[in-house]
Amino acid sequence: MLLAALYCLLWTFQTSAGHFPRACASSKNLMEKECCPPWGGDGSPCGQLSGRGSCQDIILSKAPLGPQFPFTGVDERESWPSVFYNRTCQCFGNFMGFNCGSCKFGFQGPNCTERRLLVRRNIFDLSVPEKNKFLAYLTLAKHTTSPDFVIPTGTYGQMNNGSTPMFSDINIYDLFVWMHYYVSRDTLLGGSEIWRDIDFAHEAPGFLPWHRLFLLVWEQEIQKLTGDENFTIPYWDWRDAENCDICTDEYMGGRNPANPNLLSPASFFSSWQ
């Protein structure tokens, strides 16, 4: 399931990527602490009638916490997702997603049994039409509201323990900007107090697996949006780079000559907010 797939073990915290299924954002779901939406294929929670999954209690790690985070019970990302939900879809076989409606990475087909291999390519190896298609896909994601996910605009405590949901729509591109922020942000201790000495996604062994999963989910959402099942995110191999080779108007955008902190007005992304 996507809700469970979007965390990894960082300092024995199970931290999330920070977005919530739209189908589980109601006060009823939050107060019952259950996120087991129906799969559209058969209308049953987690696609249980079709053998895709079932609604089960979440299982949390019992490993002791590390010394890097000297708090317990103050951050909703601790023991994720138990602050919001303690029952979620547990998917069987090659099924995944918040309602077991998707295939695990590397599989496709109606029963998620067909192997698929996708290859990420160096962005400088893309032809001009391929590069333009990539930029067009990003723009489409930037201007398309996510049909499946929303983001919180308040903490669980501010939601009165779920009775007053606080969520907002977000476009698909910004959803992943939010996910990266949410997993990395400071811990809120109440009032104006915060704990800055934490970064669940970067300052721990989870750095590589979390970002690997982040890119896989991002690719999957772009594939669903565009219908292009072969889409992959290109990479920039910066190992021997002396400068930012992709910081040009042809690619990610050059610097604005009037203000080096802004993108060049000739950049593809200069109009983005």
CA dist list (Å): 124 to 93, 155, 254: 37, 42, 16
pLDDT band at residue 211 using 50, 70 and 90 as cut-offs: very high
Q: Give the phi and the psi of residue 187 in degrees, each rounded to 5.
A: -85, 130
Mean predicted confidence (pLDDT) in 221-248: 95
Would the pLDDT of 89 be above 80?
Answer: yes
Mean predicted confidence (pLDDT) in 112-132: 96
Whole-structure pTM value: 0.88
Mean predicted confidence (pLDDT) in 40-47: 97
Rg (CA), the chain: 20
Give the number of residues written for the chain: 273
Would the pLDDT of 17 be above 50?
Answer: no
What sign for the dihedral angle of Cα 201, 244, 170, 192?
positive
Question: Under a CB-based contact definition with an 8 Å cutoff, are residues 89 and 37 in contact?
Answer: yes
Question: Under a CB-based contact definition with an 8 Å cutoff, are residues 211 and 183 in contact?
Answer: no
Q: Which of 4-13, 122-131, 244-253, 257-266 has the lowest mean pLDDT?
A: 4-13
Would the pLDDT of 7 be above 70?
Answer: no
pLDDT band at residue 200 using 50, 70 and 90 as cut-offs: confident
